[in-house]
A and B are shown apart, each in its own frame.
Chain A
Amino acid sequence: MSGAKPLHPGLFTWPDQNPSLMGSLCLDCGEHAFPSQRSCRACSGQNTQDAELGNTGTLWTWTIQSFMPKTPYLTDETPESFRPYGVGYVELPCGLKVESRLRENTPDQLRIGMPMQLEIISVREDEKGDALMTFQFCAAKETH
């Protein structure tokens, strides 16, 4: 059995019991960014530090990717095995909206304002057979 590693470093804490998205916070103007940025897009300053952005939010908008994208899309899927996936912006507690794949992939499963939670999923295997992991959001489980 091979291992698993993030597709790209610094996007989320993992492995972790409770993975969180990673971004940055501008210490001058207080704005968050995802992915982490050394320069602040809001104030043009460079006084930023990495910050955990959490793993919950609400769905701000959504669509569904109904056909298999051309390059640069790179997964283990074939046109036959491709399954449509949701895409949305999830509004995090800090107010930042992060673009993400969504597990839900039909219109009746998706609604603006619905609570969402982060999950870590496999994108494809690398040449050594290690699973490359990325993040997506899915509908939050009911808490009551």
Chain B
Amino acid sequence: MDVAIVGLGLHPFGRTATMSGLEQGAAAVRTALADAGTDFKTMQFAFGGSQDGGNADSLVNLLGLTGLQFTNVANGCATGGSSLNAAYSAIKSGQYDVGLVVGFDKHARGAFNPKPAEWGLDDWYGETGLMLTTQYFGMKIQRYMHDYGISRDTLIRVAEKAFRNGALTPTAWRQTALSWEEIENAPMVSEPLNKYMFCSPAEGGCALVVCRADMAQQFHSNPIYLKTAVVRSRNYGSFEVFSPSQPPEVAASPTVTASQTAFELASVGPEDIDVAQLQDTEVGAEIMHMAENGFCAHGEQEQWLAEGATEITGRLPVNTDGGCLANGEPVGASGLRQVHEICVQLRGEGGARQVAGQPKVGYTHVYGAPGISGVNILTR
């Protein structure tokens, strides 16, 4: 049984001082249910996740105690991808007909401060100042620039595109385009990445109503089909965050393995994708993920960005809503925002940021610590 997405709900990302994370999640659910023309009582199951906003299954206190199966998912930045993967399996197996995927969060300002013990590490690692995700991102793109000849200009181009697209997206957090000079001269955070090259922890909520494909028309006249949802963890040798050491041989990342599996299962190739969301926790991530997801060879990003190939008007628009850079990252909701945006684009509801030519096949990729990737391929 194929799986359809028939309801989209987003509570704007950024900061909503008057609402808890849980309330932002509930708002997203109500929007998604209304979009699908249905109600919470009809939902047979839910998968949801939040890192700092409370237990996702507490949403029933705000939405109704209907007795549905509600499973909490916690997979770091890949929480949304893992939730959708679980919902996909629940419908694909025939266990359920219709249900809900939801993610929300409300993070404190500034960088995340993870606890070593939760990652299987001893305290010395954090105490001596090695436990910052920003360092990992700086070091990974530093090596990548060295190996594949990526220039600093290309880093700036990715940030420029993100904020330009954010300015076209009414639900984005950062809706002001930034000039080349503003980005180039921003304070350095972790060489070679500066302030405007990183996304920030944020708040927000996102929800999707999913159902059996043969029931889709009951809920929405323009269903989007989830062809495949794949989640993979890291193999030995993959260069990942929070690693006190790395083996001699660098292995393919979980993004590569998830992407290859997804393309195989969906029987399409990278050349068939009309619009994509690639995890852009920082600009280097978007650049590396273009190649790791199979859209170009390592090093070709330099030319792609110079040509504007990933602009809304380019041959493969990437992060049309400004991605994590312009929307911020409420961890539990972020991976679902990617799917939400691809559904908007495939429905043709993108407004000022709509990709021309009626895109038919979309792609989402989320990546989370300590090396988890989720890939979804969607069609209309």
Chain A residues packing against B (C-beta within 8 Å): 7-8, 11, 23, 31-35, 41-42, 60-67, 69-75, 85, 87-89, 91, 94-101, 107, 112, 123, 134
Distance (Å) between the CB of A26 and the closest chain B CB?
11
CA A73 to CA B111, docked complex, whole Å: 13
Contact of A61 with B245 at beta-carbon distance under 8 Å, contacts A41-B236, A69-B129, A72-B115 already known? no
Contact of A134 with B139 at beta-carbon distance under 8 Å, contacts A31-B247, A66-B190, A89-B246 already known? no
- Of the candidates B111, B114, B128, the one whose C-beta lies within 8 Å of that of A101 is B128
Contact B190 A35 (CB under 8 A): no
List B contacts of A67 (CB < 8 A).
Answer: 189
Interface status of B138 (Cβ within 8 A of chain A): yes
Contact of A66 with B243 at beta-carbon distance under 8 Å, contacts A101-B129, A123-B127 already known? no
Contact A35 B122 (CB under 8 A): yes
List A contacts of B122 (CB < 8 A).
Answer: 8, 35
List B contacts of A94 (CB < 8 A).
Answer: 248
List A contacts of B245 (CB < 8 A).
Answer: 23, 32-35, 96-99
Q: How many residues of B contact A (CB 8 A)?
A: 36
Contact B139 A70 (CB under 8 A): no
Per-position contact with A for B105-145: 1 when CB-CB < 8 Å, else 0?
A: 00000110111100000111011111110010011101100
Contact B131 A72 (CB under 8 A): yes
Contact of A123 with B128 at beta-carbon distance under 8 Å, contacts A62-B142, A62-B191, A67-B189 already known? yes
Distance (Å) between the CB of A93 and the closest chain B CB?
11
CA A48 to CA B275, docked complex, whole Å: 48
Distance (Å) between the CB of A31 and the closest chain B CB?
6
Contact B248 A96 (CB under 8 A): yes
Distance (Å) between the CB of B182 and the closest chain A CB?
19
Contact of A42 with B142 at beta-carbon distance under 8 Å, contacts A65-B129, A71-B113, A123-B127 already known? no
List A contacts of B123 (CB < 8 A).
Answer: 8, 72
CA A123 to CA B130, docked complex, whole Å: 13
Contact A61 B113 (CB under 8 A): no
List A contacts of B110 (CB < 8 A).
Answer: 70
Contact B247 A99 (CB under 8 A): no
Contact B142 A61 (CB under 8 A): yes
Please name 5 pairs of A and B residues whose Cβ atoms are closer than 8 Å in the assembled complex, sorted by A: A7-B127, A60-B246, A74-B127, A91-B248, A98-B245
CA A100 to CA B129, docked complex, whole Å: 9
CA A74 to CA B123, docked complex, whole Å: 10
Chain A residue with Cβ nearest B126 = A72
Other contacts beyond A34-B244, A101-B128: 7, CB < 8 A: A7-B128, A63-B135, A63-B191, A65-B190, A70-B113, A107-B191, A123-B127
Contact B243 A99 (CB under 8 A): yes
List B contacts of A70 (CB < 8 A).
Answer: 110-111, 113
List B contacts of A99 (CB < 8 A).
Answer: 130, 243-246
Distance (Å) between the CB of A71 and the closest chain B CB?
5
Give the residue among B115, B128, B131, B143 with the most A Cβ atoms within 10 A: B128
Give the residue among B129, B135, B139, B140 with the most A Cβ atoms within 10 A: B129
Chain B residue with Cβ nearest A85 = B129
Contact A72 B116 (CB under 8 A): yes
Distance (Å) between the CB of A109 and the closest chain B CB?
11
